[in-house]
Amino acid sequence: MGKAIMVQGTASHVGKSILTAALCRILRQEGFSVAPFKSQNMALNSYVTPDGLEIGRAQALQAEACGIEPEVAMNPILLKPTGELSAQVVVMGKPLANMTAREYRDNYLDNAIPIVKQALDELLGRYDVVVMEGAGSPVELNLKDRDIVNMAAAKLAQAPVLMVGDIDRGGIFASLYGTVSLLPPDERDLVVGLIVNKFRGDLSLFTDGIKMLEDLTHKPVLGVIPYLFNLDLDEEDSVSLDNWHQTTPADINIAVLKLPRISNFTDFAPLACEAGVRLFYTTSFDEVLAADVVIIPGTKNTVADLVFLRETGLADALLIAARQGRKIIGICGGYQLLGHDILDPLGVETDMKAAVGLGLLPITTTFRPTKTTVRCQAISKLPFYSGSISGYEIHMGNSVVTGASAFEIEDDSTHLDGCINEAGTIWGTYIHGVFDNDEFRWALINSVREAKGFCPLPEGVRYRDHREAELDRLASHVRKHLDIDKIMQLTGLR
């Protein structure tokens, strides 16, 4: 059986997912076969495995850091919020049902534990080491007796736990000392060290702080990791989008609508890598009208976000932008929003049986209980690019198109996907990851440049190479500031 180590944190967004990815890459560099694991993930960023199953996007990134394909055992339970009180429960890559938090806690959670254990055991049986990730905080005391993702998961693997705190948000002593102190003794014993993350400034000024933390918690501080600026890797939480609002105009300005229920916002990171492109997330009427390209992203509740667009005036901004001939792109739920009618006769997403969309593309979408999760290859039928692209689909609805299609899917039953308007300025697709395709992305950007009177650029960023370089940069940064030898000793790897 393989060894396990676990990264837990004092709160959400303290850097657990990224540090897990860093450890995955470092241990791979050390010559071990490595896999990530998160028993239960609540996220709207998801990914499709090669066998057509759905997992959290963070585990897909971590698998990439390990140099392996993602698989469903890495994230056996995925919760995708559909509203304030409910979520779609995805078990071993397939949707089970929509449940409220109470329904999930009271009626299903006991069933999840053997599923989690089987997935974890499977990975431990095939890899030298499994790097596990927790969620939120392990000491949410009112929820702790039903928590299957933090200490309960660590106990399943008898994994030593690294506890991470975020000094950038303040309160590092209270958060780390409080977390360790609130753990019962048997769980406190699993914590083998502390990590202070996102430090800014002179590290030498925190020497006393390290000693204070060690004296308070009786746990060693295994690293103080400086803030790593401009790291271009997937973030799991939409709170990270607040960092994307750049104000300096560029040759090409791309606005992504910051929908309340935005999903798979990682789709657009490749665009931001390119020279002369400013990509930002916004809910501003004026910024939408000033952008060269407006993207409507995926959403976990299409109708609810349609209501949001109308209530905020963003729907009007999109209609004005369309009349002005600006480029508008819809991905997945954003594609559905661009259509004429959105029908939900079985109440798959909402109690509303029908809604009128933005009317910018000739499509009608009907939600069905069966979820499409598949990787795909397609030929572009868009005017700026006629080559092949790859991506993946994750959607509950199916759309009937009465206009021109955007892509031709290449599979056993060749079919069409997406739609483009007659002017060629508005298009949508169900394909996630479309902008990961280098030639497609460059062609899109150059078509916008030429429309603005700029010269086209030669080939830009090779995105896969860029991600590999970023993972290596992350691993190098963490190596410098984390006691990797000690961690491998604690894990039994050395």
Task: Please name each of the domains of the chain with its CATH number.
Answer: 3-232+468-491 (3.40.50.300), 252-453 (3.40.50.880)
What is the distance between the alpha carbons of residues 380 and 175, in angstroms, rounded to a whole number? 50
Q: How far apart are CA 395 and CA 371, in angstroms?
A: 6
Q: What is the pTM of this model?
A: 0.92
- Sheet of 94-100: strand order equals 40-42, 77-81, 86-91, 94-100
Q: Which of 279, 270, 269 has the alpha carbon at shortest distance from 248?
A: 279
Q: Which among 139, 143, 152 has a CA at the least distance from the CA of 178?
A: 139
Q: Which of 24, 66, 273, 332 is catalytic?
A: 332
Compute φ and ψ for 237, nearest 5 degrees.
-100, 140
**pLDDT attached to residue 238:** 52
Q: How many other C-beta atoms lie within 10 A of the C-beta of residue 464? A: 12
Beta bridge partners of 400: 364
Structure tokens at 485: 């030898």
Q: Is 137 helix (H, G, I), strand (E, B) or coil?
A: coil
Helices (H), 218-290: 269-272, 285-290
Three-state DSSP class for residue 131: strand
Average pLDDT, integer, range 205-213: 95
Q: What is the pLDDT of residue 411?
A: 76
368, 346 Cβ separation under 8 angstroms = yes
pLDDT tens, 401-456? 999 999 999 876 678 999 999 999 999 999 999 999 999 999 999 999 999 999 99
Q: Is 332 a catalytic residue?
A: yes
197: which 2 tokens? 């993350």
360 contacts 322 by C-beta, under 8 angstroms? yes
CA atoms of 390 and 439, how far apart (whole Å): 11
Sequence-distant (6+) residues with CB within 8 A of 358 are 306, 309, 315, 318, 319, 337, 338, 339
d(CA 434, CA 440): 8
State residue 184 phi and psi, 5-degree precision. -65, 155
- pLDDT in the model for residue 1: 82
Residue 122 has pLDDT above 90, yes or no: yes
Q: The tokens 């006393």 sit on which residue?
A: 208
Mean pLDDT of the chain: 93
Residues whose CB is less than 8 angstroms from the CB of residue 178 and which lie 6 or more positions away in sequence, other chains included = 10, 139
Q: How far apart are the first and last CA of the chain?
A: 15
User: Residues near 425 by Cβ (< 8 Å), separated by ≥ 6?
Assistant: 322, 325, 326, 327, 328
What confidence tens digit (pLDDT) does each residue in 135-145 have? 999 999 998 88
Q: Tell me, what amino acid is at 382? A: L
Residues 239 and 13 sit within 8 Å (Cβ to Cβ): yes
For residue 376, indicate whether it is catalytic: no
Per-residue confidence (pLDDT) for residue 84, from 0 to 100: 75
Q: What is the pLDDT of residue 143?
A: 87
Find the length of the chain. Answer: 494
Structural tokens at position 134: 């927790």
User: Is a pLDDT exceeding 70 seen at residue 309?
Assistant: yes
pLDDT per residue as tens digits for the range 223-242: 999 999 989 898 765 555 65
| CB-based burial label for 79 (10 Å; 0-12, 13-18, 19+) | buried
State yes or no: pLDDT of 246 exceeds 60.
no
